Amino acid sequence: MSENAMSPEPVRDGRSNVYKTPSPIGNFGIVEKPLPLMARLWDQGWLRKLFVLIVLACLWEAYARYLNNDLLLPTFIDTCLALFDGLYSGQLPERIATSLDVLLTGYAAGIGLAALLTLIAITTRLGTDFLEVMTAMFNPLPAIALLPLALIWFGLGKMTLVFVLIHSVLWAVTLNTYSGFQSVSSTLKMVGRNYGLSHISFIMKILIPAAFPSILSGLKIGWAFAWRTLIAAELVFGVSASSGGLGWFIYESKNQLNISAVFAGLLTIIIIGLVVENLIFRAVEQRTIQRWGMQA
């Protein structure tokens, strides 16, 4: 059989073997050619998204002008003006700073606790059970539902908000991190044990990087939860009457019937969300799981 295939003599059916040599590269018309500028621009995801944003802004502006009612829907331009006004007067930056301060405190504390809880869960079996029971109980409970209780426990202050934020971050991050650890392939774990790593460096150098896609998505979900919870909680009360956060800014503006400032506050929340999502998390993603080919 195999000898037949090798021989240059005619085989059955009257067909002989065919041999060819690839022609040299210079004979082709195009091997590689840059695409036209427009095609390359259209390939940029952020440019296409910017285009969508501009279209939406135009629609908003057109409809608001048609409606012509500042109390229901201020125009896009009015909103932008109110935004610049707020930024310029220093009121909005102050509110943003207050909000972010509370947010980062709660977020960091939540992540710290999540790390601790996951660590206990992967080292002891009872810890695993504890984590599973706790996440099953608290994950479905919206953090904002704890606000009345937190108000009784901690009073009207930063601590109350931080408590609610921790609750909103903790379970989402824990659940994702833990499931990430569980889905680390057994081969990879065996490789790590093969090197004779200590328990801590096994976790730090094998488990955490291997589970990083899940950890990162947990951090993203946690951030989104925390941000929403914070604004919702702030709508109920400011940290203290004089220096509330963004949520309080929206609530106050509404009471003063300054609807374009309400929209400016909403726009600010959206912009901060977009910046964190698209600049910070995106950059982390590109430097880690995308470069490692770990993103599906």
Partner 1 sequence: MTPPLLDVRGVTLQYKTREHLVTATYRVDFTVRQGDRYILLGPSGCGKSTLLKAVGGYLRPTEGQILLRGQPVVRPGADRMMVFQEFDQLLPWKTVKQNVMFPLEASGRLKGKEVQERALHYIHKVNLGNFVDSYPHMLSGGMKQRVAIARGMAMEPDIILMDEPFAALDDLTRRKMQDELMQLWEETRFTVLFVTHSIPEAVRIGNRILLLSPHPGQVRAELNGLDQGSMQKEAQVALEEEIKRLLFSDQIEETGHV
Of 55-63, 136-144, 193-201, 239-247, the segment contacting partner 1 by CB under 8 A is: 193-201
Q: What size, in residues, is the chain?
A: 296
Within positions 34 to 53, which residues make up the interface with partner 1, using CB under 8 A?
none
Nearer to partner 1, 282 or 287 (CB): 287
Nearer to partner 1, 54 or 204 (CB): 204
Of 64-72, 73-81, 104-112, 285-293, the segment contacting partner 1 by CB under 8 A is: 285-293
Are 66 and 254 contacting, i.e. CB atoms less than 8 angstroms apart?
Answer: no
HEC string for 166-231: HHHHHHHHHHHHHHHHHCCCHHHHHHHHHCCCCHHHHHHHHHHHHCHHHHHHHHHHHHHHHHHHHH
Are 211 and 180 contacting, i.e. CB atoms less than 8 angstroms apart?
Answer: yes
Q: Is 190 in the site for partner 1 (CB under 8 A)?
A: yes
Q: Is 179 in the site for partner 1 (CB under 8 A)?
A: no
Nearest to 146 by CA among 168, 171, 175: 168
d(CA 281, CA 296) in angstroms, rounded, equals 17
- Cα 233 vs. chain centroid, distance in angstroms? 21
Among 76, 212, 223, 263, binds partner 1 (CB under 8 A): 212
Q: Is 194 in the site for partner 1 (CB under 8 A)?
A: yes
Torsion sign (Cα): 103, 107, 108, 113: positive
Q: Is 200 in the site for partner 1 (CB under 8 A)?
A: no
Q: Is 284 in the site for partner 1 (CB under 8 A)?
A: no
Give φ, ψ of 294 to 5 degrees. Answer: -100, 0
d(CA 260, CA 264) in angstroms, rounded, equals 6
Q: Is 158 in the site for partner 1 (CB under 8 A)?
A: no
Q: Is 219 in the site for partner 1 (CB under 8 A)?
A: no
Among 158, 205, 228, 254, binds partner 1 (CB under 8 A): 205
Are 229 and 171 contacting, i.e. CB atoms less than 8 angstroms apart?
Answer: no
Among 54, 55, 156, 188, binds partner 1 (CB under 8 A): 188
Q: Is 103 in the site for partner 1 (CB under 8 A)?
A: no
Kindly state the number of chain residues that form the binding site for partner 1, as judged by CB under 8 A. 21
Among 112, 127, 142, 209, binds partner 1 (CB under 8 A): 209
d(CA 271, CA 280) in angstroms, rounded, equals 13
Q: At its nearest, how many Å lie between partner 1 and the CB of residue 284? A: 13
Q: Is 195 in the site for partner 1 (CB under 8 A)?
A: yes
Which positions touch partner 1 (CB under 8 A)?
185, 187-188, 190-191, 193-197, 201, 205-206, 209-210, 212, 288, 291-294
